[in-house]
Structure 1
Amino acid sequence: MKKSFYISHFVRNALAPAARIIRPENPKSAEAIQTEDLDGDGKYEIIATYELYGEMYVMILKEERGKWYKLTIKGAGSGIDYMNFADITGKGKKDLLIGWQIGNIWNELDLYTWEKNTMKRIVHGLSYSKVDIFDRLEQKSVALALWSYTTGDVYDIQLVYWDGRKLAHVKDSRDYYTERVVPYYEQKVKDMPKSAFYWYYLADAQINGGTPKDALKSIVKGMALNEENPSKGEFLALRKKAKRNLIQ
């Protein structure tokens, strides 16, 4: 408790009097003031998110040889949707992910890594509605899932990883779809079993997750509802896709 109070007091003294400390909306475990070793030297930096005159900022306080110095990152939008730490670049230290709130359902993600005594932005303005960090176990690396809202609680999902120079698309998405996406749509059809819409997207997720037999069952249930959206033609096209995956 004393340490937490000291850090909070220390952060407030480093900010302008008019600054207002704010907590990122996501993940739910995020705090307005956090500590993390960003440069891999074994010592924790202090990271705080705040608003000043309507602008969004992240402040990083680093101690070196008994002295503290401050780094400031200025963001976009009207809030801070997301802040997290993960070794995205695979260099054995935590990188900083910041999601700036642009609208009600849209955000922009920036990725920073520690380089040459400062935070270097290596990815800027990735559009997303929800962001998820996951492990690529076989590759022993960390990747990102960017969920982008389309309509009716349905999302377009992009899986990306750092290839050493830039973000690239993950080629094998089966594990992520099985563990995260399929359960999401299973809950949707459980909540609304008479919605062909969600049966369609559950089937699509099951195909991407490598379970085309399950997808065919979902397609049968969705088509039996005889709704106009998705159309019969769309369901039949999805069924062809599932059958192609059966023989691969």
Structure 2
Amino acid sequence: MKKILILTVIVIVLLNIPKHISNAVKNDKDLTTVVNESLPSNSTLIRPEQPLSTKPFQLYDLNNDGIDEVIVNYKLKTKEQPSQFGAIVLKKENDEWENIWETKSQGVVLDYSGLADITRDGTKEYVFGVTIGASAGSHLYIYKWVNNSLKKVADVNYHKMEIISNNNIGIAVWQRFIADTYFVNVLSWDGNKLVHDEELYYDYYPIIEKYLYEKLSEMDAWFYWYTLADAQIKANLFEKAEKSIQNGIAIVRELGFSEEVEKFNKLKVILETKKRSN
């Protein structure tokens, strides 16, 4: 009797599931089927490392027609490294999903796959980054919707990367110098290309400073002072940059590193030139 009562309750619940929820579940299943059928042979869906929690496929209305396109990420199964990572855009036309765009890039990790309004025109671009290797770093591609397809409008090499989306959109690009220290640039769109953005750099500088001061607390190495001075010059923090250069020169002179002394001297010239121009 108890089992019959439980079964009756289950049937009643199932019969009273709202229609929109039932349709949503069905649509999700249908979309998953479409995505899987769109994959090239010998490939599998893959999640990017960034942004966190990104699924293997994303929905976004790239052309502002009120209907979402589907961006699918996959990895080709290969016996040898490097692997090949790809992205496909599916567009719905007359109730049929069509593959309208695809890109592939060799690498070891799909580092980034996401959407951001890099060009600041109100419509997000597709951002695709693949790690080539520990030494070579990663390559970032930015694609914009143009004439019913995605067109590459910019690309940049990086070892670490962060998309800044506070008041203005920008890209913080970290490029390795020595060991775990980096030259950092902050880029934004000037209407035609990515360029250095002094205002965004100044706002982002505390993150760079915090990272390098933590490293310096562990090891008083010249290359940390060198990249810190570089960051301070870019942020127009000239007094801080002078002190960082002095600290770095003291270390390399004590070690007898003549080439590194020359590096700091060149950095001093850059500092003095920028001071005069401001």
TM-score (norm 2): 0.71
Q: Deviations over 1:171-196 (max 9, x none)?
A: 5564255244323322221332x223
- From 99, 103, 128, the equivalent of 1:70 is 99
* Superposed displacement of residue 233, structure 1: 4.9
Query: Aligned letter for 1:19?
Result: S
- Counterpart in the other structure of 1:196: 222
Cα 1:96–1:3 shift into 2, 3 Å = farther
Structure 2: any 5+ residue segments left out of the alignment?
A: 1-23, 79-83
Higher helix share: 2
- From 31, 36, 40, the equivalent of 1:12 is 36
Structure 1: any 5+ residue segments left out of the alignment?
A: none
Q: How many residues align?
A: 243
In structure 2, what is the Cα distance between the partners aligned to 1:222 and 1:103?
30
- Counterpart in the other structure of 2:19: none
Q: Deviations over 1:133-153 (max 9, x none)?
A: 22584xxx5233333223222
In structure 1, what is the Cα distance between the partners aligned to 2:183 and 2:249?
22
TM-score (norm 1): 0.78
RMSD: 3.3
Q: Are the counterparts in 1 of residues 89 and 99 from structure 2 also a CA contact under 8 Å?
A: yes
* Superposed displacement of residue 42, structure 1: 4.0
Q: Are the counterparts in 1 of residues 183 and 231 from structure 2 also a CA contact under 8 Å?
A: no
Kindly indicate whether residue 211 of structure 2 is the aligned counterpart of residue 184 of structure 1: yes
Q: Deviations over 1:46-80 (max 9, x none)?
A: 22210234432212222345432223413121342
Q: Are the counterparts in 2 of residues 76 and 102 from structure 1 also a CA contact under 8 Å?
A: no
Cα 1:2–1:185 shift into 2, 3 Å = farther
Kindly indicate whether residue 129 of structure 2 is the aligned counterpart of residue 103 of structure 1: no
Q: Deviations over 1:93-127 (max 9, x none)?
A: 11001123333342222221112222222235x33
- Counterpart in the other structure of 2:9: none
In structure 2, what is the Cα distance between the partners aligned to 1:16 and 1:65?
23
Q: Are the counterparts in 1 of residues 90 and 98 from structure 2 also a CA contact under 8 Å?
A: yes
- 1:16-55 equivalences under 5 Å are 16=40, 18-54=42-78, 55=84
Q: Which has the larger radius of gyration?
A: 2
Percent of aligned pairs sharing the same letter:
30
Cα 1:174–1:20 shift into 2, 3 Å = closer
Cα 1:13–1:205 shift into 2, 3 Å = same
- Counterpart in the other structure of 2:8: none
Q: Are the counterparts in 1 of residues 138 and 157 from structure 2 also a CA contact under 8 Å?
A: yes
- Counterpart in the other structure of 1:170: 197
- 1:207-226 equivalences under 5 Å are 207-225=233-251, 226=254
- From 106, 110, 115, the equivalent of 2:146 is 115
Cα 1:217–1:2 shift into 2, 3 Å = farther
